[in-house]
Amino acid sequence: MPPVLPSTARIAAHRGRYGSARPPALAALPLPPSRMPGRRGARPLKRWRYVGVYGPELMLCVGVAQVGPGRQSFWAVWDRAAGRLHERTRLRRGSVQLGLDQPGRVLVHDGAVTIDLTLDEVDGVETVCPVGPRPGDAFAWTRKQGGVRARGVVTVDGATRELDALAVIDDSAGYHARHTAWQWCAGVGRADDGRAVAWNLVAGINDPPHDSERTVWVDGEPAEVGPEARFADDLSAVATDDGVDLRFAAEAVRERRENLLVVRSSYRQPFGTFAGTLSGGLALAEGWGVMEQHTALW
């Protein structure tokens, strides 16, 4: 049986590259890879894994999500050269093999599309954030990996292409509020000085002033981004007080509305390119990734 957190326990924000050595303050929390209770009070467990691979020729994302007993899987391939977006969402795991218990691989076999990738995963940056107005209400966990190498093949309509690019990986699980809305940005690229960069910016979820999931990676080394990521309403830009000032040019848009009575959601996630600066004014020579606007009643 998984441990059960006492309802009066005080939950504070934590952030670190813990691996298997989390601090004592988190010992009472059932966190992945341990099994988490299916509910905390009236809130069902929500968990997901998202892998986004971004580059100059192909961009793709693959994900699986679970809210209580409900499951969903999705994939999308944006072929920049051909100007075609291929995508599918299913209300089950379907043809996607991806999960917290299956690190290092991305497998999709769905009609004329096959994605077979190996990921050079690392410990990642973990954050634990309280959810709700009172300590002990609930918590959310996430682990972000940025600039992870992804290698393999992508086949679309009989044409197979090798892929060697950088990825952002989002593993999340928690007892989020019934109504949750957020804006998110993830990308990879190269700075003017030649170093590899990646970033994960968010507003509305896991975003306390300190110990948040906001992160910029430079040559694989993560650093937290300062308080408050401000997104343009049309997702054309995002900025922070410590030097992030990114402009986004959307190219292909994934968007979907779900109304499953108990669970409803609406999201818009365009693929595209970035220009501007990261933390500290680090200039971006080239960048690819996604923006997202998501509202969920879950």
Does residue 269 belong to any structural domain of this protein? Answer: yes
Residue 103 has a pLDDT of: 81
Token couple for 106: 């991305």
Token couple for 78: 């944006």
Total domains in the fold of the chain: 1
Does residue 3 belong to any structural domain of this protein? Answer: no
Residue 2 has a pLDDT of: 44
Does residue 187 belong to any structural domain of this protein? Answer: yes
Mean pLDDT by 10 residues, the chain (298 residues): 48 87 87 92 94 97 93 95 94 77 87 96 95 77 98 96 98 95 98 98 96 97 96 98 97 91 89 97 97 96
Does residue 268 belong to any structural domain of this protein? Answer: yes
CB atoms within 10 A of CB 249: 10
Nearest to 144 by CA among 175, 117, 168: 168
CA distance 27 to 22: 7
Does residue 199 belong to any structural domain of this protein? Answer: yes
Does residue 98 belong to any structural domain of this protein? Answer: yes
Does residue 27 belong to any structural domain of this protein? Answer: no
Does residue 25 belong to any structural domain of this protein? Answer: no
Residue 63 has a pLDDT of: 96
Contact in structure between 149 and 166 (CB atoms under 8 Å): yes
Buried b (16+ CB within 10 A) or exposed e, 152-186: bebbbeeeeeebebbbbbbbbbbbbbeebebbbbb
Q: How many residues does the chain have?
A: 298
Domain coverage including residue 238: 44-297
Residue 135 has a pLDDT of: 55
CA distance 228 to 210: 10
